[in-house]
Amino acid sequence: MNYCVYCYERIENSLTWSTWLTVEKSQALCASCAGKLEMISGKRCKVCSRAWSSSICLDCQQWRELGDNIERNYSIFHYNDTIREIITQWKFRGDYLLREIFRNELKSAFENQFANNNASLTIVPIPLSESRMQERGFNQSLALAEMLDAPVKQVLRRKSGEKQAKKNRKARLKRDNPFSITEPLKQAALIVDDIYTTGTTVRQAAQLLRLHGCPAVYSLTIARS
């Protein structure tokens, strides 16, 4: 018997010819919870994945003028109330199992967006501070990275433990780079994380990677806020 990992409703898998004949992907969410997640579809900024009618959004144009250090970010879902609640329970309450909600979509986004064009991508998770690790016991970024079929290298380290969620955009952009690098990475890197908000975190990580010889940095995130 399958239960929705989020609401514990029973998941009923109807047996049809197609489900019988094909190996079905296991579902983490019931239809009702799954229906509350919104995939980003239609036109989007080709750099940051925000829903956008022309090719590059204003923010990304600005990043480009300043000399951007990421190739592009791909996000899967719109950051709505449901995904916010799911991520809160997953990350802050420490409900590790909830990463399963993202497994199928994360894998197919990786395969469609990144795996084909670039065979030698190394996945780099965003590191967690020591104090966060003490509280939570796992790094959500690493938890996502480990669901993908590619080598994972934890080459970044966080200098101090500040809560990102509590900061406004200005403070986040202004701050010094919170990461340090433990070994240089010579292949292209894919940063995997939960939310892309201003893109600062990804770019700070990318800045360090590029500085130490990484040829290109991409990013794959669950939600675009």
74 burial via Cβ count (<10 Å: 0-12, 13-18, 19+): buried
Considering beta carbons, is residue 127 or 199 the nearer one to other proteins? 127
Count of residues that interact with other proteins, criterion CB under 8 A: 16
Residues between 133 and 172 with contacts to other proteins, criterion CB under 8 A:
133-135, 137-139, 142
Residue 9 lies near other proteins (rule: CB under 8 A): no
Considering the rule CB under 8 A, would residue 131 count as an interface residue with other proteins? Answer: no
On the 0-12 / 13-18 / 19+ scale of CB atoms within 10 A, 133 is middle
54 sits near other proteins (criterion: CB under 8 A): no
C-alpha 204/C-alpha 200 separation (Å) is 6
The rounded distance, in Å, linking the Cα atoms of 48 and 21 is 38
Single out the residue of 61, 89, 197, 198 in contact with other proteins (rule: CB under 8 A): 89
| Interface stretch with other proteins, choices 44-52, 67-75, 91-99, 102-110 (CB under 8 A) | 91-99
Residue listed under structure tokens 């190394």: 122
Establish if 85 lies at the interface with other proteins (CB under 8 A). no
Q: Give the dihedral sign, CA 109/112/117/118.
A: positive
Q: Which residues bind other proteins (CB under 8 A)?
A: 3, 8, 89, 93-97, 128, 133-135, 137-139, 142
